[in-house]
Structure 1
Amino acid sequence: MDYLNFCKSYFSATSIPVNLLDNVNILYSSVRTVTNIPQYNDYYVPDDLPNFPCFSHYDPSIEYGIVRVQDTSIHIVIGPVFETEITPEILNAYLRENKIPFSERDKIQDFLCSIPRMNQLQLAKHLIFLHQAINNETCELSHFFPDYTPSADDMATNTRSNIGDEAKEYFNTYSNELRLYEIIKMGNEEELESYLNQIPLSILAKPMATSALRQAKNMFISTITNIVMIGAIPGGVSTEVAFELMGQYVQECEKLQSIHEIETLRYNMLVKFCQLSGKSHIPLGVSSDVFNSMNFIRSHTNEPITVTDVADNIEHSTSYVTNCFRKELGISPGAYISRCKLEEAKSLLMYTNMSLTEISNYLCYSSQSYFQNAFKKKFQLTPLQYRKKMQRIN
């Protein structure tokens, strides 16, 4: 097969970005082709990649999928894809993830906004298609969602028809529903997995329809409404993001024609909201204003932000932000901005081949010498000494 032309045709037909890799060598990249920007970061393909396709992401808001071309060193990576509209936070996360300078922001934003919105279930279907087309091998949704696999009875009959009265009474108690919402609110993925293994998703709601398919859809809508209102938003997920995601999930649910797919989508939805709540969870002893300011700073290390920008983000004065930071963290907002930029610099020195000039420009330092001096003052090593030290260790 001509994989290069296959990838180009797939991107042309779907508008979903594609990357063709031979080991670490990039043979084709939709992003690079359309935006005409250099490749600032190497794509990472795990060494233990399974034979069947899989998901990959660094940030919960940015999804990729990988298909291995069997018996070769070639991989096809599709993505990034996004469930929601591109927010400034998602855009900055993508720029940081790919080490793209702030100067390329507008080009990247235009390209990302052109990508069709897609959730994990839809992404899985694309990967199944690609795997079958390339490797002539079928792949099931259970490969992507191994922690939840409905039984044959669940898929073929009403989702409550084979449940005993005792199980119904236990699993549908109000306390168990509240426990689920609290897990989502706290963003505890491990506890969510344990909970879902104990309590199947197919019995988390009361009968609301005579049709098994309509029942599953009604249950989905009921669950996601409560998850958003009682779990995700109180857990720190912004109202805008939560309701946009809810709308996307409900629209996708209404399109589905099998209970199996609806249950899989619901599992995916619960995990997604749990991840977002965990990312937004406010630690003890930190106010919401300081926490939101910290997140804003961490997500804008590749921009020339100031304390005024931080204050504007939470709609307070600079003196208010400065006082809160000193009281709760013991440092000024400016010092925290500097700390985050220098920690980002450490990662760039360790995991990329970017030069000191490139790193300095990427992190928006006024000059390379200023960056080097700030780094040495903080870590007692010059940037190059730190890079050599970490290379010896690794």
Structure 2
Amino acid sequence: MGSIDLNREWLAAEFVNQEMATRHRGLEPEFDFYDAIATGNLEAVKENCKKKMFVDMNGVGKLSRDPLRNMKYHFVVTAAMIVRYCVHNGMTQEKAYSLSDFYILKADETMGIEELNRIHDEMCIDICSQMKEIRKQQILSKPIVLCIDYIYSHIHYRITIEELAEHLDISTSYLSRLFKKEMGIHVSEYINELKIEQAKNMLQYSDLKIIDIANYLSYSSQSHFIQVFQKITGLTPHKFRQKNFRNTWNKMPVPGESVSNE
């Protein structure tokens, strides 16, 4: 019965939006902004901040009826997108997610829209400045960029170096040497670190069972997932969830299953 009521409410909201000619902004300017941050284009980022684009709510989704909470939710979306763009462009995952967590916590503590906008601008300029320095030091070759892109888009599957080499049409030995040279770690280590970053987010922001997370990320077993997780983070998934779970975030239990940490 609840789903029927939600469908009716959605149809009513859609009708109102159509009657009021409500339209969302195009995605290209938003993607261009993320790309400017990730490529260290400081001038473009500062120009965008001067225009106060973040506080302009015209054409953006309404995520809360409370104006400040609505903007905080949009801040989280922005931070999450920036992280992904920056990791793709050479920032280490741990640093990117640490920066994101730091600024999201700062945003969560704000009491006004102007203060939130200031933190948004500081975040974007700070991360863009760091990306500018990273790109001075590191230029990735085309095979490694394509390799990383493939890993990101297939992270919930089991990925082998043979599969990656076939996708890039190069030998496994060459890919292994090139990846280690440019990224500083082996391909398998990179894949596991990325999977564990995904797992940390799922443990922190959802009620998904640990076995479901292990299956989603294509680990051979729950015990193997726990072993890899503990090796990388120093904690078991259960301990990590106990320490980091944020009750203020929406929970996402698996449909038809009771909530459980294990």
Give the structure-2-normalised TM-score.
0.48
Larger proportion of helix: 2
Q: Point out the structure with max Rg over C-alpha.
A: 1
Larger proportion of strand: 1
Q: With CA pairs under 8 Å and 6+ residues apart, which has the higher RCO, 1 or 2?
A: 2
